[in-house]
């Protein structure tokens, strides 16, 4: 297991669940100082900052890149893989492929969260899920060229109506024979959708590839009412070796949120 913290450079996501929003030259050293192994990047796109700049920041501060988010494709450009417009779906997949290549060069997988979109209106559920499976098939292949997986994130019902629970994500991967796709277990979304978080992690088992380590209220673990001990036990039992990444609200302030995360992980893992 490795620890990670989210660094956001997207002004449109200023109120989102990301801990540090300052320039990367400031947030990298902060992440290191507080005790994180790695950072998870939420960037406006693949050309905001060069791969070599990120590499030199990572090397300078002794941090790795845990993952890169693609959500800016939605919050900044309004792109979704299940948009009724073919043109927009193509642009969405292109954005994701570029983010896969960006992260891939850093040894980091890309994450599909909000860019999966929603079905409704002129798009049926079956149609949307077919487009989603097609896109994941392509993304998995592209990611494989960089020797990283592609991460698919079930979101809570208020953010998508595709797949809300981890085991439905695992079933979707298996039913569509998707290769090189892993699931993101975001404990905040799971708190809303799952009956028993630990049981769902055990059931999804080998498909779990990344964890957003958040409490019930999306604050740092320890500042809500989730009990992390059985969750960590389940992760250990399934042989989880990925990240516990703090994709959380920077409350009561970013430094406290970051420190509480490290404190929680050290006490339970």
The residues that touch ligand LER, with contacts defined as CB under 6 A, are 71, 111, 113-114, 153, 155, 159, 186, 212, 247
CB of 17 to ligand LER, least distance (A): 6
Active site residue 87: no
Active site residue 159: no
Number of residues that bind Mn ion (CB under 5 A): 3
- Dihedral Cα 28, 34, 37, 38, nearest 10 deg: -30
Nearer to Mn ion, 141 or 148 (CB): 148
Contact 218, 256 (CB under 8 A): no
List binders of Mn ion among 219-248 (CB under 5 A): 247
CB of 86 to Mn ion, least distance (A): 28
- Residues 81, 238: Cα–Cα separation, whole Å: 31
Count of CB atoms situated within 10 Å of the CB of 23: 11
| Cα–Cα distances in angstroms (integers) from residue 188 to residues 58, 66, 181, 197, 215, in the given order | 28, 19, 21, 10, 6
| Residue indicated by tokens 């939420």 | 42
Identify the active-site residue in 40, 97, 193, 247.
247
Identify the active-site residue in 40, 153, 194, 260.
153
List binders of Mn ion among 166-195 (CB under 5 A): 186
Taking CB under 5 A as the criterion, the residue among 89, 212, 218, 219 binding Mn ion is 212
Nearer to Mn ion, 60 or 218 (CB): 218
Residue 71 contact partner, candidates ligand LER, Mn ion, none, CB within 5 to 8 A by sort of partner: ligand LER
- Dihedral Cα 120, 122, 126, 129, nearest 10 deg: -70
- Tell me which residue of 148, 138, 128 sits closest to 65, measured CA to CA: 148
> Which structure tokens are listed for 204?
């999804």
Nearer to ligand LER, 29 or 224 (CB): 224
| Catalytic sites, residue numbers | 153, 247
Binding site for Mn ion (CB under 5 A): 186, 212, 247
């Amino acid at each position: 297991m490795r620890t990670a913290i989210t660094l956001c450079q997207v002004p449109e996501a200023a109120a989102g669940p990301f801990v540090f929003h300052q320039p990367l030259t400031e947030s990298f050293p902060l992440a290191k100082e507080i005790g994180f192994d790695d950072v998870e990047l939420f960037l406006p796109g693949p050309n905001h900052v060069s791969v070599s700049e990120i590499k030199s920041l990572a090397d300078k501060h002794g941090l790795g890149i845990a993952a890169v988010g693609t959500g800016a494709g939605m919050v900044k450009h309004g792109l979704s893989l299940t948009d009724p417009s073919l043109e927009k779906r193509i642009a969405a997949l292109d954005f994701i492929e570029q983010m896969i290549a960006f992260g891939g060069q850093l040894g980091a997988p890309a994450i599909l969260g909000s860019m999966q979109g929603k079905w409704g209106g002129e798009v049926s559920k079956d149609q949307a899920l077919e487009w989603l499976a097609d896109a994941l098939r392509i993304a998995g292949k592209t990611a494989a060229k960089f020797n990283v997986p592609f991460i698919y994130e079930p979101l809570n019902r208020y953010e998508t109506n595709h797949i809300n629970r981890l085991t439905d994500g695992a079933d979707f991967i298996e039913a569509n024979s998707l290769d090189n796709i892993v699931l993101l277990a975001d404990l905040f979304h799971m708190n809303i959708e799952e009956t028993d978080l630990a049981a769902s992690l055990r059931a999804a088992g080998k498909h779990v590839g990344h964890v957003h380590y958040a409490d019930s209220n999306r604050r740092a673990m320890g500042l809500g009412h989730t009990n992390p001990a059985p969750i960590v036990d389940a992760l250990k039992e399934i042989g989880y070796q990925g990240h516990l990444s703090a994709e959380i609200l920077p409350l009561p302030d970013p430094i406290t949120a970051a420190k509480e995360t490290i404190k929680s992980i050290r006490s339970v893992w």
